[in-house]
Structure formats: C-alpha cells, structure tokens
Copies of this chain bind each other. A is one copy, B any other.
Amino acid sequence: MLKFLLCLLCVNQAFAKEIFTDEYIKQVASLRDMALTDSTAYEITESLTTEVGARLGGSEGDAKAVKWAVAKFQELGFDKVYTQPVTFNKWVRGVETAEIISPFSHEIKITALGGSNSTANEGITGEIIHFNSLQELKDADPSLVKGKITFISDKMERTKDGSGYGKVNGGRYYAGTITAEKGGIGAIIRSIGTDNNRDPHTGGMKSVDVNKETGEMRFLNEKEVVPTGAISNPDADLLVNVIKRGKPVVFKYTLGSHWDGEYTSQNVIGEIIGREKPDEVVVIGGHLDSWDLGTGAIDDASGCAITMATAKLIKDAGIQPYRTIRVVLWANEEYGLSGAREYAKVHKNNMDHHIIGAESDFGAGSIYAIESNVAEYSLPAVAKMAELLKPLGIGYGGNNGSSGADISPLKAAGMATFKLAQDGTKYFDLHHTADDTMDKIVPEEIAQNVAAWIVFVALAAEYQGDFGFNLNTNK
C-alpha cells in the first residue's frame, strides 16, 4: 500500500499532464461541478420506482423493467441500446405468516429468504432452539436441534462501510442447510439489517449445489435444506424476551415460496461509442432487478440511475471519449448474479477488451472514497481521478479495492476494477425490505454520486493506456 501511495504522489506531479490534456481535465472538472445540482439520476430513479416498482427476477415487474430500461436509454440519447438474454431458474414468493404460539401468543412478521422452498400448507410448528450466532448453531449437538426450529439472533452492526453485513449474513446463507444437517425442521433468523422497523429483510440463502467440476446446478432437497425465513428486528427482540422467560417456546410459520421453472430476462445495455477504440469498453452499471418487497429504490434503481446519468451527462457535454462507455443494467443479481455470469460467459473471448469496470450497488449515499484494482503502471491515471475527486470530499483508499457483485465475474475473468465507496450508514436500514422506496433518495447525495462517477468514467474512457489485465490471477 505504501509503495502505491508513494508512487501515486511522485508520478502524479511528473506525468499527470501527459495523460490527459489540460483542456480535457478542465472540461471534466466543470462537468463534475455542474452534476452536483443536476437531477437526472434522481429523476431516473423516480421513473423506475414509480413506473415499474418491484421487479424480482422472473416477475412481471422484471419484464416491465426491461422495457422501461430500453426506452429510458433511448430517451437519454445513448448511441446504442440493446439487450442480452439471460436465462435462470425463477423463484417466487408466496404466503408468509408466522406466530409465537406459546407461552405468549404474538403475530410475527416473516419473509422467506430468496431460494427458500415452501413449508407444507399447514406450516411448520415446533419448539424454538435459540442460537446467538451461526457459529453456535454450527457447534450445536444435533440431538438438541433435532425436531426443532432454529433461531439465530445476532444483530448486524451499523457501520459507514457496511462491514457489519459480512459479519452476520453467513447466518442468512447457511441457517437452512445447517439446520437440516442437524435434523431441525425449520429455521428463522433475525433480519440482517440495522433498523428497528417491523419489515423483515429478505436476501439469498443456500438452496442449490453447484458441481465444482461440471458446473452443473442441483436444487437441494428437503433433507438438505429447511424452509427459512427472516423475522424483523423488533420481532426478534420480542422472541428473545419471550425465550428469556425460560419456558419452551412454540413457533409456527408458513412460507409459500418456491422455485418455479425457467425464465429468460435480459441484461439491458446502453453505450456511448468511443471515437478511437469503439470495441474497447469501460463497463459500468447497476442491477435492474430488485427484491419484491419494496420498489427497489436504493437497491438498485439508484445504481442504474447514477451510471445512466453519468454516461448521458458526459455525452451531453459533447465528450466522445477514446473508448466506449458501456452501461449494463444487470439481470437478476439478487438471487443468482445471473446477468453478470451470462455476460462473462458470452464475452469470455474478448474480456481483454474490457478496460476497467465498476458497479454502483450500495444505495444513493454520498461517495467518500475510491479504491482501484489496476496495474501499477496505470496508477498515474488513478491519481488524476483522485485529484479531481478531492473537491467532492472523496479520498483514495488504495489499489486493493473490492468491486460490486455484478463486476465480480468479470474481475475473475481478468478485468481491472474500480470502486466508488458510498456512505452506507443507513443502507442496511432499508436493504431488501418493503422500506426500500423512493422517499429515501436524497437529491443532493445522488447528484454527488453522479459527479464522482463522471470523473471516473470520463477519465477511464479517455485514458489511452490500459489498467492491466489478469491482475488478480497474476497476483
């Protein structure tokens, strides 16, 4: 890290002027400042959430979203608009009820985790066995779990960078399979979220097995995974308080969710064609699908909107960069990463034409840092980005950056990546819940995102060197 920073500092002074013309830098800085009061991204977010709303992969909303996206790219004046078919197994939600039956009766708000199979129509009724963490469940003697409903209750910690999420979401992913392995009949978890609303957080769970050699996918059977739901934070608190009384606690829940055949959705793609290297691309975007509980404003209408607005404002400023800007609105990120995986497969033979990529998929909070994952020799270009981002209150976090989920298959295939880190302090209040709605978007914050993305995209697409390839394979 120190090496990179020193390198950045020295190269920055000596060579930065040679990478981009003064005039171009001035133009980008001016566009950046203009974007701070521009409402394009806010309006796109409002449009998608109002005119389409919830758009779970495979749902009617998904199909509407694809149509909306094609029309919106065209309306925004993109040079080229097209779609790329993405076929995946469709998962649908059904009835969702839950209650504490004894020693005190309470109605409980539950939501199925993505991938969960249904319970029988009459639901699952059983005694709760309480674990403070996934690790406690893993460590539990199977004889204690057998015939019971497991309940993992650890609460996600609020952090700016969202790092609290990774500490607890293993419980969401593995509760169903580990419970089944130990002979449990059902599993519920405290929502992975930082709010105290009665709206539970959904999210993906382990429900398929992928053969590592053949890549073939197989649905887990009912002996391998139990129907699993998340209950809201206040309900989890209540259940913990009931459990504290020391009497056996009987719980009942019903989930109607299940896998339901195949569906073909689309990655929707809009391009601003590069003037010299039209076939070489800077890939940006967000995912077009959302969970079904809210209208998917922060996850991820805002990411689609930020990247669409970025490309549009660059084009409207009369900039036709050296390389192509490709905005991809990814299909079915939420329970399959389907669009990104399909894209990586289709482009496996020209992945080296993908110069650098980034995704916006962490809400619409202000950006406070950038991170790169590029070849060392391209750090002067990153330094120039950092210099132009500094006035927005954005710092440089080093060259070992992570990337968005949809970027990960491309990164694995060799592409250099970039991250614009957003303030996620409030993100997990809303993430994957019914509360993910348009009223949560702050116009000034989403505009600041676009201003920052303009700097990254305008410089990355104009940069005539490259950012390296197969960096992570070579490391």
**Chain A residues within 8 Å of B, Cβ to Cβ:** 46, 49-54, 60, 104-107, 109, 196-199, 233-235, 237-238, 241-242, 245, 294-295, 433-435, 437-440
* Among B51, B238, B241, contact of A104 (Cβ-Cβ < 8 Å): B51
> In the complex, which residues of chain B have a beta carbon less than 8 angstroms from the beta carbon of A233?
439
Least CB distance from A275 to B in Å reads 38
Instruction: Choose among B53, B238, B433, B439 the residue that contacts A49 (Cβ–Cβ < 8 A).
Output: B238
Which of chain B's residues have a CB closer than 8 A to the CB of A52?
104
Q: Evaluate contact between B50 and A437: CB separation under 8 angstroms.
A: no
- Establish whether residues B196 and A440, one from each chain, have CB atoms under 8 Å apart when the complex forms: yes
Measured between alpha carbons, how far is A60 from B99 in the docked complex, in Å? 15
Determine whether the beta carbon of A53 is less than 8 Å from that of B198: no
Given A50-B242, A51-B104, does the pair A437, B109 have CB atoms closer than 8 Å? no
Contacts of A433 in B (CB 8 A): 198
Of B53, B107, B198, B437, the residue contacting A435 (CB under 8 A) is B198
CB distance from A57 to the nearest CB of B (A): 17
- Within the complex, the shortest CB–CB distance from A438 to chain B, in Å, comes to 7
Known: A198-B199, A199-B197. A241 touches B105 (CB 8 A): no
Cα A475 to Cα B88 in complex, Å, equals 76
- Let me know if B234 and A439 touch, CB within 8 A: yes
| Closest Cβ neighbor of A235 among chain B residues | B437
CA distance A329 to B346 in the complex (A): 69
Q: With A and B bound together, what is the CA distance between A104 and B54 in angstroms?
A: 11
**Contacting residues, chain B, for A53 (C-beta < 8 A):** 104-106, 238
Residues of chain B with a CB closer than 8 A to A196's CB: 435, 437, 439-440
Inter-chain contacts of A50 with B (CB < 8 A)? 104, 238, 241-242, 245
Contacting pair B104 A438 (CB below 8 A):
no
B198, A294: Cβ atoms closer than 8 Å: yes
Could you tell me if A437 and B295 are in contact, using CB atoms closer than 8 angstroms? no
> Which B residue's beta carbon lies closest to that of A297?
B234
In the complex formed, the residue of B with least CB distance to A53 is B106
Which residues of B have CB within 8 Å of A435? 196-198, 234
- Which of B104, B237, B245, B294 makes the CB contact (< 8 A) with A439? B237
| Beyond A49-B238, A50-B238, 4 additional pairs, beta carbon < 8 A | A46-B241, A50-B245, A196-B437, A234-B438
